[in-house]
Structure 1
Amino acid sequence: RLGAKPAQQAFVETAVAISQFERVTMGISARQFSNARSQLPSHIRVVEMSSNDAWMRDCGPIFVNNGQEVRVVDWEFNAWGGLDEGLYFPWDQDNLVPRKVAELEWLDRYQVPMVLEGGGIAVDGEGTLITTTQCVLNPNRNPHLSLTEVECYLQRYLAVEKIIWLPRGSVDDETDGHIDGLCAYIRPGELVLGWTDDKSDPQYEINQEAYEMLCGERDARKRPFTIHKLPNPRPIYVTAEESAGLDMVEGTHPRPEGLCMGGSYVNFYLANGGVVVPLYGDPADRPALATLQALMPERKVVGVQSGREILLGGGMVHCITQQQPSPNSR
């Protein structure tokens, strides 16, 4: 909206926050390269990398690491649903992003014939993966694959041993229930789960369902989960001003006034020694930061004030980022 200026400021704020803890690379289209370079501090690397949209978590590579070498896993991407139910068309440049990153970083690449977005999975690095059937088994993703085949791909290319299937993700998630809006690991065996005690909230039943299921599960190392409830912000609705300022592009979904967007504090980015959290101008912002800081005292928790602007585009901090591990970080 407004020529993408507010969104650009939100992305800059996010990148600068993460750069307190680790090196940051921004992939920028050729048209916006000079603009991005002028807005970002010199210690943030800017590279030309065309894409159709801006969600590196979903269209970008997933990195795997054996303690000696990092490689790229290149999944198929279809804009969260393909020609019939996807959020935009085309997505051809998005689908090339993992290959471009692999070339840029001199990394070997596995190409997998399965649609998967990074926001659709949560992994602990010790063999456990949590996802939702609403997303990964959705007919608009991989209608040609059975549950067994999907699990085989996940196990083979992500080195996971235990896959936990929750039925669904957040109620207002237009990506078909990504797990990264519902829960997240803070360390192996320990999760934060978005939460509401309001029984009239459509998210209430989903949170309860996820909590009960996770309480009954164990991870790949046979540990029960420790689950911390993290209150969600209040429902966030598109304002008349926000809707009127949108720059509509053919093939994309509108944002009418009154549309409810599913904000969440669990959609954070874990950096080296830090946690970068989206904020929404909500009374729950400050308690969320305090809760996460208490749960992760070994990290510095930093809020991104412009989280609402990113949410207007359909995602949050975790959605626009993708961590790249060091080979010896396992």
Structure 2
Amino acid sequence: MTWRMPAETAPHERTWMAFPRAGLTLGDDAASAEEAYAAWTAVAHAVAEYEPVTMVVDPSERERARRTLGSHVDQVEAPLDEFWMRDFGPTFVVDDERPGVLGAVDWTFNGWGDPEWAEWRKSAEIARFVAERTGAELVSSLLVNEGGGIHVDGEGTVLLTETVQLDPRRNRYADKERVEAELARTIGATHAIWLPRGLTRDYDDFGTNGHVDIVASIPSPGTLLLHTQRDPEHPDYEVSRDLRALLAETTDAAGRSWEIVDLPAPATLRDEEGFVDWSYVNHLVVNDGVVACGFGEERADAEATEILEAAYPGRRVTMVDSRPIFARGGGIHCITQQQPAVETVR
């Protein structure tokens, strides 16, 4: 069998999410907790305007989830300790030789390198749980990886980062050749583009060590959306400049040079913790739309909306204030996972 991860623009059956629960990510006071519940709920309701949403809910949050999410979002129960569905959930794949067959890659998940603060062992079981709920064939992998650490065009190209898949806290004995062989087996990637690093904030204690889904995405074959920091006062100014130069020298699996579309960062440079990694690249493509991160900056949000609408012709862009999500380590793409519609993945 030949598994292939479809482009995120392919039709979806639904989107999967995980509901917040008590723990470090939620926050240690009532106001912080309510902020997290509200942010995850707002994203779920925005996605549900376009396609079905299924929310995995820890038993401890059963009543709150029912009250908050309402009838717009399907809910299933399973033990959770984290709620970044992109990273611990399955990566869905299809088999072009067996139409109608859905696969679910169960990466090995160790909480982004098993830092001292991470609670991840319950969520590491969710990929198998979701695979069973969807009737997908399980594709087991020993590669420590997260869904936010890869991005594909559905035609063989994969973007990834040296500081993620080659992180010794994740894959102590990995090299590029071994990682690429596993990605070819599991998601059908035949052409890997390795970024040397991710955004600056992502290397803090609570970061992922360089996830690509906050840096670059592929809205259509041969086109890249690239996070661009325009202010020289931010360390990501040099990061995004250097990444653009590197990507300009690469091609996709079909041998096409990239059309690189700059997606500028908001004007805000810092929050209470330091330099922010606010990024419009971290959006979710849904059926007939895009659910994008907003940051409360009228001019920057409007510019990003215009760029995204041009990159995804015919799709409506819905923005959700994602500052509470980024304050916890990620964005809208990080808390969602698309399930392709297997009959129409092309």
Q: Which of 272, 283, 301 matches 1:285?
A: 301
- Separation in 2 of the partners of 1:156 and 1:235? 41
Q: Which deviates further from its counterpart, 274-283 or 160-169?
A: 274-283
2:141 paired residue number: 112
Q: Which runs of 5+ in 2 are unaligned?
A: 1-26
Q: Which deviates further from its counterpart, 121-130 or 275-284?
A: 275-284
Q: Which runs of 5+ in 1 are unaligned?
A: 239-256
Q: Which deviates further from its counterpart, 128-137 or 198-207?
A: 198-207
| AA of the residue aligned to 1:228 | V
Shift in Å, 1:329: 2.6
1:62-141 map, 5 Å: 62-67=91-96, 68=99, 69-82=101-114, 86=115, 88-141=117-170
- Separation in 2 of the partners of 1:235 and 1:124? 31
CA change 1:324–1:212 in 2 (3 A) is same
- Separation in 2 of the partners of 1:219 and 1:202? 28
2:16 paired residue number: none
| AA of the residue aligned to 2:305 | L
1:246-285 map, 5 Å: 257-282=272-297, 283-285=299-301
**How big is each residue's C-alpha offset from its partner over 1:204-224, in whole Å with a ceiling of 9 and x where there is no partner?**
111111111111111111111
Q: Conserved in 2, the CA contact under 8 Å of 1:193 and 1:229?
A: yes
Q: Conserved in 2, the CA contact under 8 Å of 1:79 and 1:87?
A: no
**How big is each residue's C-alpha offset from its partner over 1:57-103, in whole Å with a ceiling of 9 and x where there is no partner?**
01110010124211110011111112xxx263431111101011011
Shift in Å, 1:235: 4.1
Q: Which deviates further from its counterpart, 39-48 or 116-125?
A: 39-48
Aligned residue for 1:303, secondary structure, equals strand
- Separation in 1 of the partners of 2:313 and 2:153? 19
Aligned residue for 1:284, secondary structure, equals helix
- Separation in 2 of the partners of 1:234 and 1:77? 34
- Separation in 1 of the partners of 2:77 and 2:44? 16
Shift in Å, 1:323: 0.3
- Separation in 2 of the partners of 1:284 and 1:89? 33
- Separation in 2 of the partners of 1:326 and 1:258? 40
Q: Conserved in 2, the CA contact under 8 Å of 1:79 and 1:89?
A: yes
Q: Which of 306, 313, 323 matches 1:308?
A: 323
Aligned residue for 2:329, secondary structure, equals coil
1:299 paired residue number: 315
Shift in Å, 1:261: 3.0
1:183 paired residue number: 216
- Confirm whether residue 161 of structure 1 aligns to residue 190 of structure 2: yes
Aligned residue for 2:340, secondary structure, equals coil
1:328 paired residue number: 343
1:221 paired residue number: 254
Aligned residue for 2:70, secondary structure, equals coil
- Separation in 1 of the partners of 2:175 and 2:157? 20
Q: Conserved in 1, the CA contact under 8 Å of 2:161 and 2:211?
A: yes
**How big is each residue's C-alpha offset from its partner over 1:236-269, in whole Å with a ceiling of 9 and x where there is no partner?**
544xxxxxxxxxxxxxxxxxx4433311000000
Q: Which deviates further from its counterpart, 156-165 or 187-196?
A: 187-196
Q: Conserved in 1, the CA contact under 8 Å of 2:284 and 2:291?
A: yes
- Separation in 2 of the partners of 1:41 and 1:285? 28
Q: Conserved in 2, the CA contact under 8 Å of 1:81 and 1:87?
A: no
Aligned length, in residue pairs: 308
| AA of the residue aligned to 1:291 | I
| AA of the residue aligned to 1:220 | A
Alpha carbon RMSD of aligned pairs, Å?
1.4
| AA of the residue aligned to 2:236 | Q
More relative contact order, 1 or 2 (CA 8 Å, 6+ apart):
2
Q: Which of 38, 41, 44 matches 2:73?
A: 44
Q: Conserved in 1, the CA contact under 8 Å of 2:88 and 2:124?
A: yes
Aligned residue for 2:343, secondary structure, equals coil
- With normalisation by structure 1, the TM-score equals 0.90
| AA of the residue aligned to 2:82 | D
Q: Which of 236, 243, 248 matches 1:210?
A: 243
| AA of the residue aligned to 2:125 | L
Identity of aligned residues (%): 37
| AA of the residue aligned to 2:214 | G
- Separation in 1 of the partners of 2:117 and 2:286? 30
Q: Which deviates further from its counterpart, 318-327 or 214-223?
A: 214-223
